[in-house]
Amino acid sequence: MPDSIPRTNLLADCGNCLGLCCVALPFGKSADFAFDKAAGSPCVNLDENFRCGIHARLRNSGFTGCTVYDCFGAGQRVSGHTYAGRSWRDDPGTATGMVAVFQVVRDLHELLWYLRQAAELAVPPDLWAELRAALAATDALALSDPAELLRLDLIAHRGAVDELLLRTSSHHRAGARGPAPICAEPTCAAPTSSERICAGPTFGGPTASGRTSAVPGCTTRTCRTPSSSPSSNSTPLPGIRTPACRRF
Ligand code: SF4
C-alpha cells in the first residue's frame, strides 16, 4: 500500500479549491450543461467564495456534467501548494497560467490514481518497485512550480506510465486466468506435463489407425476429435464429459 500518497490526496476537496475547474474547463450547451462556457472563463454560477451557487440543484438546473467531473485532487493542490492560496481573482495576471497548470496537474493526479491502484495488486517485486518509482516521480512532478509544470512533456510521461500500467494489467490478468487445464488421463500420449495441456484435435496424438484419438476423461470445453464417419457428428465421444465435445 503506497501510504506516501494517501488516497484522500487524490479525491476532490472543493472546500480547499479556488473553483479552478469552474474556470478552466470549457463546456457547451447540451444535455449535460445548460449553456456555453469558454475555457478560462469563470462560470457565472461561481460565487465570490469560489463556491457553486447552484451546487444543491446542479442536476435539476441542467448541469449534470458538473456532478460527474473529477479533478482527482488537483484543484486543492494547485490552489494550496502551487499557488499558495493566491487566487486568479487576486492576481488576474496569473489566471491564464493557473488554468493551464491546473490542467497539467489534473492529468498527473489521474495517473497517480491509476498507479496507486496498480500498486495494490499482487505483482512481482520488480514490477511493484517500478510502480512505486513511477508514483514517486509523478507525485514529484505534480509538486513542481508553475513554470516547470508548463514545460513538462506530459505526453511522454503519460506514455511511459501507460506502458507500465499495461504491463501490470497483463500480468494481473494472466494470474487471474489461472493455469491451463492439464489432462489427468494416465494413458495420455504427451510425454511431459506441459504437453498434456489439452489443445484440441491433436491432443491425444495419432492412433495406430492413423486417426487422432480423443483422450477419455478429458473435461476441457475445447476438446474435439476427428471421426471416421461425418454422419456421426452429433454423437458424444465416450468418456468426454463436456457437452460441447462432438465428433466431426
Ligand atoms: S455550475 Fe457550478 S459546478 Fe458547474 S461550472 Fe458552474 S460553478 Fe462550477
Any alpha helices (H) in the chain, and if so which ranges?
21-24, 64-68, 74-77, 95-118, 125-142, 146-151, 154-177
> 73, 76, 95, 93: which is closest to 85 by C-alpha?
76
pLDDT higher than threshold 90 for residue 182: no
The band of 115, judged by pLDDT with boundaries at 50, 70 and 90, is: very high
- The rounded distance, in Å, linking the Cα atoms of 222 and 199 is 7
pLDDT higher than threshold 90 for residue 201: no
- Give the amino acid at 102: F
pLDDT at 174: 86
Please give the average per-residue pLDDT across 114-119, as a whole number. 95
Mutate to test the pocket of ligand 1, among 29, 30, 43 (most ligand atoms within 8 A of CB): 43
Distance 91 CA to ligand 1 centre (A): 21
The model's pLDDT over 203-235, given as tens digits with 9 standing for 90+, comes to 333 333 333 334 443 434 344 333 333 333 333
Distance 150 CA to ligand 1 centre (A): 25
- For the entire predicted model, the pTM comes to 0.70
Sequence-distant (≥ 6) Cβ neighbours of residue 231 within 8 angstroms: none
Choose the most confident range, by mean pLDDT, from 9-18, 175-184, 193-202, 237-246: 9-18
pLDDT at 177: 59
pLDDT higher than threshold 60 for residue 200: no
Distance 153 CA to ligand 1 centre (A): 30
Tell which atom from ligand 1 comes closest to the C-alpha of 45: 7
Pocket of ligand 1 (CB under 6 A): 22, 43, 45-46, 52, 54, 63, 66
Distance 81 CA to ligand 1 centre (A): 23
The band of 72, judged by pLDDT with boundaries at 50, 70 and 90, is: very high
Distance 28 CA to ligand 1 centre (A): 13
Mutate to test the pocket of ligand 1, among 17, 45, 58, 99 (most ligand atoms within 8 A of CB): 45
Mutate to test the pocket of ligand 1, among 61, 66, 69 (most ligand atoms within 8 A of CB): 66
The model's pLDDT over 124-176, given as tens digits with 9 standing for 90+, comes to 999 999 999 999 999 999 999 999 999 999 999 999 999 999 999 999 988 76
Phi, psi (deg, nearest 5) at residue 96: -65, -45
The answer to whether residues 113 and 5 touch, using CB atoms and an 8 Å cutoff, is: no
The model's pLDDT over 4-62, given as tens digits with 9 standing for 90+, comes to 789 999 999 999 999 999 999 999 999 999 999 999 999 999 999 999 999 999 999 99
